[in-house]
Chain A
Amino acid sequence: MNEQRRQILQMLAEGKITADEAERLIDALEREQPESPPGATPRPKPRPKYLRVLVNSEDNLGGEGPGRVNIRVPLQLLRAGVRLTSLIPPQALTQVNAELNKSGVPIDLTQLKPQHIEELIEQLDDVTVDVDQPGTKVQVFCE
C-alpha cells in the first residue's frame, strides 16, 4: 500500500472524511498512478530521441538585444555523422594529427575507433549540462 492511500484511509478512520470522499480520493489516486499488474515488468524508460541545446542570454551584445539559441538535433543524426567519420582515409587522419600537434593539441585521432564514438553517443542519453551565470543560461540535455 502506498503512502497516499494509507493517508486517505487514516483520514477516513479518524472521521475527517466520509467513505464517499475516501472512495473518490482513491479513485483519483489510481487514475494518477495506474497500478501495473502483478508480475509485469516495469516499463523501460523511453529512449531520448533528440539532443537539445538551449542558450538564453540577457546580455545586450553589440547593442542588438538579448540572444537566444534553441537547437534540436536527432541523436540518430549524430550516430550517422559518427559512422561517416569512419570513411576518413588514414593519410588524412595522419595529416590532421600533425596539424593538431602543431597547434598544441596532442590527440591521436587514429586511436579513436568508430565503436568508441558510438558508445559515447549511446551514453549521451543521460547527459545534462546546466550552466547558470548572471544574465546567461546554457542547457544541454537529451529528450
Chain B
Amino acid sequence: MIPHLVTVGHRRPDGRWLRLYVPVLPVLLVLSPLLLLVVLVGLVACLATRVSPVGALRGTGQLLWALPGTRIEVEQGRTAVLVSVR
C-alpha cells in the first residue's frame, strides 16, 4: 500500500501547531510530468553508475510501499516537529 497522507507538523515556541497535510496520490498526479523527468534522470544515473535500473526501481517501490506507519516526533522544550506517514 502506498502512503496516502503525509503529515508534517511544527510546534512553534509560542505553543501553536503548524500542520501540513500532504495527500500523496493527488500530489503525485499533479507532479507526474516532473516525476517522469526524475525517472529518466534516475535511469541515466543508474546506467552511468552501472546499477541495475530494474533493481533500483523495485527497491524504490518497496521503500515507498513500506513507508505507511512511520512516525517521527521530536520535542525540545516548547518546540516540536512531527512527521507521520499514513
Contacts and interface: CB of A to CB of B under 8 A. Distances in A.
Interface in A47-79: 49-50, 61, 64-74, 76-77, 79
Per DSSP, chain B at the interface is mixed
Per DSSP, chain A at the interface is mixed
B51 A68 contact: no
Contacts of A89: 49-51
B10 to A, nearest CB: 15
Contacts of B33: none
The range of chain B's interface size is: 20 to 34
B73 A69 contact: yes
A70 B77 contact: no
Contacts of B72: 70-72
B84 to A, nearest CB: 9
Nearest to B50: A89
